[in-house]
Chains A and B, each alone.
Chain A
Amino acid sequence: MSQNDLHYVRTEMALPQPAPLRERGPVAWIRKNLFANPFDSVLTIIGMLIVAMILPPLIDWALIQAQWTGTDRTFCATVAQGGIQPEGWSGACWAFVNAKFGQFMVGRYPFDERWRVILVAIMFVALLVPLLMPRVPYKGLNAVLFLLVFPVVAGILLIGGVLGLSHVETPLWGGLLVTLTLSYVGIVVSLPLGILLALGRRSKMPVVKMLSVIFIETVRGVPLITVLFMASVMLPLFLPAGVSFDKFLRALIGVSLFASAYMAEVVRGGLQAIPKGQYEGADSLGLSYWQKTGLIVLPQALKLVIPGIVNTFIGLFKDTSLVYIISMFDLLGVVRQNFSDPAWASPQTPSSGLVFAALIFWMFCFGMSRYSIYMEHRLDTGHKR
């Protein structure tokens, strides 16, 4: 016993010490993240080579060789192609984008009435930005203005026909105006409708449940192009003669319903992730179904599925291009339409136009993505259960 003394008492508690130098600083970061082992090092070098191969030509084309100003195609064509550029020149034709910028934004909206679109755009930004910033007060009022008042005012301004404003038919609309209008309506309608459908699908009432399931499965099972095409070609066959609905309105309804079905499934995923205990906790306090859903279940479920919701929004935003099928022209549609303009047709025009369109789409989608990540962090209350 005596040779095996198990007695030990710590007399002083150990103090925390700073991490060793090798674990800190930029060199440690590079070693840990880029050259941790031979395989990582090879991947890093290959990645760097690819960047080195792609980036300089891209910068050269888009910025250095690019033609920024000009009044017609001659500025963006080589001598052999009937222009002023030297043989072998290859650069972006930003002059084309510059000249067509107004069209890209609003399509064939009459020039003298474009101030109406600009006014709507200013209102849109002025209402959206404070709504997105958590620290700005009066969120309730702001939301009512943005979701209820703004659509009415914007509709009156854009369509006109009242208050001395001349009527602008929707087939004249185009470009980013169409893209954003479709997306705004699609997003604003699809989120609440999707939530209701998701709740309906989980309802204990068989009729509500069946209707939700039928709607979701039917809409999800049909391509958007088909929905838009049917709305445009087949709907008039069922309506009595003389009754017609605006083509753009049909596209709005089609896109909104379509997005709702996807949204419903995303939200349902979130609802299923809420533990039963949350429902029981709410029930035991005597909260009604709608109080329980609105105060306890949905705030948690929606927070969980923010990535999925934004994914649907981004998909919806880009799917708006499909309205070309019913001869409406969104941003991408207008850009493509202008390729065939004889005053600007040159080998560089299509690529310049497409890069511009891609950049605009990317800006909006990236903005949505970053905002959603910011929101996820903000709403994270430091629990995982």
Chain B
Amino acid sequence: MAIENAVSADEIKVDRAKMHISDTDVAIDIVGMHKWYGEFNVLKDINLRVMRGERIVICGPSGSGKSTMIRCINRLEEHQKGKIIVDGKELTNDLKKIDEVRREVGMVFQHFNLFPHLTILENCTLAPIWVRKTPKKQAEEQAMHFLRRVKIPEQANKYPGQLSGGQQQRVAIARSLCMNPRIMLFDEPTSALDPEMIKEVLETMVGLAEEGMTMLCVTHEMGFARKVANRVIFMDQGQIVEENTPSEFFDHPRHERTKLFLSQILH
């Protein structure tokens, strides 16, 4: 298995070399990244290069480190070895760099993490006003623009607690978009939602993908993966086990663990 994996990774490297990729086209570059929780090696030798406009779906069993990996990209988690370069900026202990990266990287969480003491509109204008120093009026116009895009402008003056889960998640997406991020991270955005609400959130995400946003999604929505992903990454035990185009990944999984996983979730 290990050999097969190495070969496929090499193939990808060769492909890239052929395409003459310039550095400005790289959105995220993760090289030899390791992370430990105490003695436990949660992420092992992660190598991942994401190009601008690429849409990547990351899946894998629970505890495989997929959430931890994307949380490293905006340094909600710290890595201990290797390099993470986001938008040309390497993530180190430099707090200024971290804030710069976070401004350009939007994140959507499983449990929304909206601010319950602020209205929907205030949730969306807070960061533009305080971080980007956008004038209030302009920030509000922009927030309404994105709220219209996620189809809930009429909820602008309500509080998050008054909205359904699906609506809250769409607000969370709008809140991230208000910072005009160049990269969006989604950490299981539909896992906490009722079946009827998953669709409305996925549709929003598909719309975003069609506009060319660079996206990394941890999700188990395989229909979504097939529809929008350029690449599917399968993780197990803190490592990237398989990486392929959606059609190849679903129809011809190569690694035993991937085959097992797909047979479990696709019934």
- A382-B102 contact, Cβ under 8 Å, with A277-B111, A283-B76, A300-B116: no
- Asked if A287 and B130 make an inter-chain contact with CB atoms under 8 angstroms apart, the answer reads yes
Output the residue of B106, B117, B159 with the most chain A CB within 10 A.
B117
Chain A proximity mask over B121-142: 1 for CB below 8 Å, otherwise 0? 0000011001100000000000
- Asked if B117 and A303 make an inter-chain contact with CB atoms under 8 angstroms apart, the answer reads yes
- Asked if A291 and B131 make an inter-chain contact with CB atoms under 8 angstroms apart, the answer reads yes
Give A268-303 interface residues, CB cut-off 8 Å to B. Answer: 277-278, 280-288, 291, 295-296, 299-300, 303
Any B CB within 8 A of the CB of A2 = no
Any A CB within 8 A of the CB of B79 = no
Any A CB within 8 A of the CB of B216 = no
- Size of the A side of the interface (Cβ < 8 Å), in residues, is 23
Give A234-278 interface residues, CB cut-off 8 Å to B. Answer: 277-278
- A286-B102 contact, Cβ under 8 Å, with A291-B130, A383-B159, A383-B160: yes
Any B CB within 8 A of the CB of A172 = no
Report the minimum CB–CB distance from B20 to chain A (whole Å): 33
Any B CB within 8 A of the CB of A17 = no
The residues of B that contact A385 with a CB separation of less than 8 Å are 116, 161
The residues of B that contact A281 with a CB separation of less than 8 Å are 109, 113-115
Chain A proximity mask over B89-110: 1 for CB below 8 Å, otherwise 0? 0000000000110110111010
Any B CB within 8 A of the CB of A379 = yes
A383 to B162: give the CA distance in the assembly, Å. 7
The residues of A that contact B103 with a CB separation of less than 8 Å are 285-286
The residues of B that contact A296 with a CB separation of less than 8 Å are 115
Chain B proximity mask over A200-230: 1 for CB below 8 Å, otherwise 0? 0000000000000000000000000000000
Any B CB within 8 A of the CB of A37 = no
- Asked if A283 and B109 make an inter-chain contact with CB atoms under 8 angstroms apart, the answer reads no
**Chain A interface SS verdict (over half):** helix
CB < 8 Å neighbour of B179 from A278, A285, A288, A384:
A285
A299 to B114: give the CA distance in the assembly, Å. 14
- Asked if A285 and B175 make an inter-chain contact with CB atoms under 8 angstroms apart, the answer reads yes
Any B CB within 8 A of the CB of A381 = yes
Give A339-385 interface residues, CB cut-off 8 Å to B. Answer: 379, 381-385
A296 to B115: give the CA distance in the assembly, Å. 7
- Asked if A381 and B106 make an inter-chain contact with CB atoms under 8 angstroms apart, the answer reads no
CB < 8 Å neighbour of B76 from A284, A291, A295:
A284
- In the complex formed, the residue of B with least CB distance to A276 is B113
Any A CB within 8 A of the CB of B74 = yes
A278 to B76: give the CA distance in the assembly, Å. 12
A248 to B102: give the CA distance in the assembly, Å. 51
- Asked if B116 and A285 make an inter-chain contact with CB atoms under 8 angstroms apart, the answer reads no
Output the residue of A285, A286, A291 with the most chain B CB within 10 A.
A285
- Asked if A300 and B117 make an inter-chain contact with CB atoms under 8 angstroms apart, the answer reads yes
- A286-B179 contact, Cβ under 8 Å, with A277-B111, A280-B76, A295-B126: yes
Report the minimum CB–CB distance from B95 to chain A (whole Å): 8
Give A91-144 interface residues, CB cut-off 8 Å to B. Answer: none
- A285-B102 contact, Cβ under 8 Å, with A295-B130, A300-B116, A303-B117: yes
The residues of A that contact B175 with a CB separation of less than 8 Å are 285
The residues of A that contact B117 with a CB separation of less than 8 Å are 299-300, 303, 379, 381
- Asked if B161 and A382 make an inter-chain contact with CB atoms under 8 angstroms apart, the answer reads yes
Report the minimum CB–CB distance from B218 to chain A (whole Å): 14
A295 to B106: give the CA distance in the assembly, Å. 19
CB < 8 Å neighbour of A288 from B99, B161, B176:
B99
A-B contacts besides A277-B109, A284-B107, A286-B131, 17 pairs, CB < 8 Å: A280-B107, A280-B109, A283-B76, A284-B74, A284-B102, A284-B176, A285-B103, A296-B115, A299-B117, A300-B117, A303-B117, A379-B117, A381-B116, A381-B161, A383-B116, A383-B160, A384-B161
20 contacts between A and B (CB under 8 A): A277-B112, A280-B113, A281-B109, A281-B114, A281-B115, A283-B74, A283-B76, A283-B102, A284-B76, A284-B106, A285-B179, A286-B102, A286-B179, A295-B126, A296-B115, A379-B117, A381-B117, A383-B116, A383-B162, A385-B116
Q: What is the interface of chain A, defined by CB distance below 8 A to chain B?
A: 277-278, 280-288, 291, 295-296, 299-300, 303, 379, 381-385
